[in-house]
Amino acid sequence: MKLVKWGCALAASRGTGLIAAACLGWLAGCTNSDPGFVTATPVPQVLAMTEQVEPQAYAIAPGDDVTVRFYFNPQLDEDLRVRPDGKISLSLIGDVQAAGKTSEQLSKDITEAYSKYLVKATGVVLVRAFGNARAFVAGEVRSPGLLDMQRGSQTVTQSIASSGGPTDNASLTEVIVVRRLPNSKEPLVMQLNIIHVLDGTEPQLDVKLQPNDLVYVPRSGIASINLALKQYIWNNFNASLGFSAATTVVP
């Protein structure tokens, strides 16, 4: 098993692509002061680590669609989208920090703020759509981009099919899935032989995707997972995000 050492320095950039920007979530382990180390991890180990993540109350995130309801003052009800800065704007009190809070916490904050103006200021926040309920499919597929998982998760093969299927240059024996977990400091990388899924010999490799997973279908002929990651992640990010990076493969 090989170890990939990623060193990165982020420069100022404009016009950031949506997919590249969102992928920074699972690349957050790579910092200017402490370069990240990413190991290609056996699939069973990644799945076991995923199952061990303890369920937590959902924290509102940028891009979420929320409804604020006032049961005794319905004329003040509002449907809002959490802004990139994590705030929502309410007509009576202005900006309120929403991201990072549970709906219960935000309901309490809004109720307290509105109590200055209303006798019965009972505000309730409902999350209608989740901005983070998506994965990313890139590489040798016909329609790379965001994969909406609002209606439920998809497997790796389903995600490739939803992206138009593989191109003629795709290597389905070396499909890469990158995942970040709350209890893992570094991104977890799985390499999957999707041919074995399709012929029924290893159906367990058709991994169920988690929010913010990246599925990358490499071009046929790429010799290693490290080279595939380097070509996609760093070459694309250098152009779109202003990264300068050094990638070292350690035996």
The pLDDT value recorded for residue 87 is 97
Specify the 3-state DSSP secondary structure of 122: coil
Residue 56, CA atoms < 13 Å, CB-side half-sphere: 12
Q: What is the pLDDT of residues 40-49, one digit of tens each?
A: 789 999 999 8
The alpha carbon of residue 129 and the mean position of all alpha carbons in its chain are separated, in whole angstroms, by 15
Q: Given a cut of 90, is residue 207 above it in pLDDT? A: yes
Chain length of the chain = 251
Q: Is the distance from CB of 178 to CB of 189 less than 8 angstroms?
A: yes
Q: Is the distance from CB of 8 to CB of 241 less than 8 angstroms?
A: no
CATH homologous superfamily for the domain 65-129: wza like domain (3.30.1950.10)
The pLDDT value recorded for residue 251 is 34
Residue-wise DSSP of 70-128: ETT-GGG-EEEE--TTSEEEETTTEEEE-TTS-HHHHHHHHHHHHTTT-SS--EEEEEE
The pLDDT value recorded for residue 43 is 92
The pLDDT value recorded for residue 59 is 92
Q: What is the pLDDT of residues 95-138, one digit of tens each?
A: 999 999 999 999 999 999 999 999 999 999 999 999 888 899 99
Residue among 185, 141, 175, 160 nearest 49 (CA)? 185
- Tell which CATH architecture fits domain 7-54+132-241: Roll (3.10)
Q: What is the pLDDT of residues 13-29, one digit of tens each?
A: 333 344 444 444 444 44
Give the count of beta carbons closer than 10 Å to the beta carbon of residue 136.
23
Q: What is the pLDDT of residues 154-198, one digit of tens each?
A: 999 999 999 999 999 899 998 999 998 887 777 888 999 999 999
The pLDDT value recorded for residue 144 is 92
Whole-model pTM: value is 0.69
Distance CA 185, CA 77 (A): 40
The pLDDT value recorded for residue 57 is 85
Q: Tell me the domain boundaries of the chain.
A: 7-54+132-241, 65-129
